[in-house]
Structure 1
Amino acid sequence: MREGDGDMILARVIGNVVATQKNERYHGARIMIVQPINLDGSDRGDPILALDAVDAGEGDRVLVVQEGWSASVAATGRPGAAIDATIVGVVDTIDYES
């Protein structure tokens, strides 16, 4: 579900992944399963994995950045970790008229 480098997408948290063994750069990081959604809340594409930088919960609508450097810094505070997607915001409301 990658439309281009540096995308920020709207998604819904649908689950989490428990990894008891992981790289030290991910220590303490939560891995969430997110479903990309359209502005009307309908699903689009396949679910993806994203590290959680904002303490999102299941069912939350979230903003996910999909770009290696930004995702790495948002999730771990430093560049260089192999991270493709990070949850960077919890969405409270969307005001949009087409």
Structure 2
Amino acid sequence: MFLARVTGSVVATQKVASMTGQKLLIVEPYRIDDKSRDRLVPTGRTFVVVDTLGAGIDEMVLICQGSSARLTPETDKLPIDAVVIGLVDTVDLRGQVVYSTRSDG
């Protein structure tokens, strides 16, 4: 699992039948800053994930990648490699909140 921020969406009108109705998002993974170790920074890469939870643009999400992406009830037997498995409320690093959905965090 890893953290990622939703940066966009993908619309594909032609796709395999099992993917009909699946919401596709573009996400950018985040990591802990190597130097300061007190904040999250983007990795600079992006990829497409299936979203079964209703994530929106700029939301921080938990991503599962690889064959594990097909282990949720919603994605069983889908030809996917990555899925949103959680909507992140807060991220705490060493007692400091570095991400929060609340405006005061």
Q: TM-score, normalised by structure 2?
A: 0.75
Please give the alpha-carbon distance, in whole angstroms, between the structure 1 residues aligned to 2:69 and 2:43. Answer: 21
Q: Which has a greater percent of strand? A: 2
For structure 2, list consecutive stretches of 5 or more residues without a partner in the other structure: 33-38, 96-105
User: Residue 25 of structure 2 aligns to which amino acid in structure 1?
Assistant: M
Q: Residue 57 of structure 2 aligns with which residue?
A: 58
Ranked by relative contact order (alpha carbons within 8 Å, sequence separation 6 or more), the top structure is 1
Q: Residue 76 of structure 2 aligns with which residue?
A: 78
SS in 2 for 1:37: strand
Runs of 4+ in 1 over 4 A off after TM superposition: none
How many residues are matched? 89
After the TM superposition, which residues 81-96 of structure 1 pair with which residues of structure 2 at under 5 Å, given as runs? Answer: 81-96=78-93
* TM-aligned CA deviation for residue 73 of structure 1: 3.5
The percentage of aligned residue pairs carrying the same residue is 37
Deviations 1:57-89 (A, max 9, x none): 000000000022x3124374423x221100111
After the TM superposition, which residues 40-51 of structure 1 pair with which residues of structure 2 at under 5 Å, given as runs? Answer: 40-51=39-50
For structure 1, list consecutive stretches of 5 or more residues without a partner in the other structure: 1-7
Q: Which has a greater percent of helix? A: 1
RMSD, aligned α-carbons: 1.8
Q: Rg: which structure is higher?
A: 2
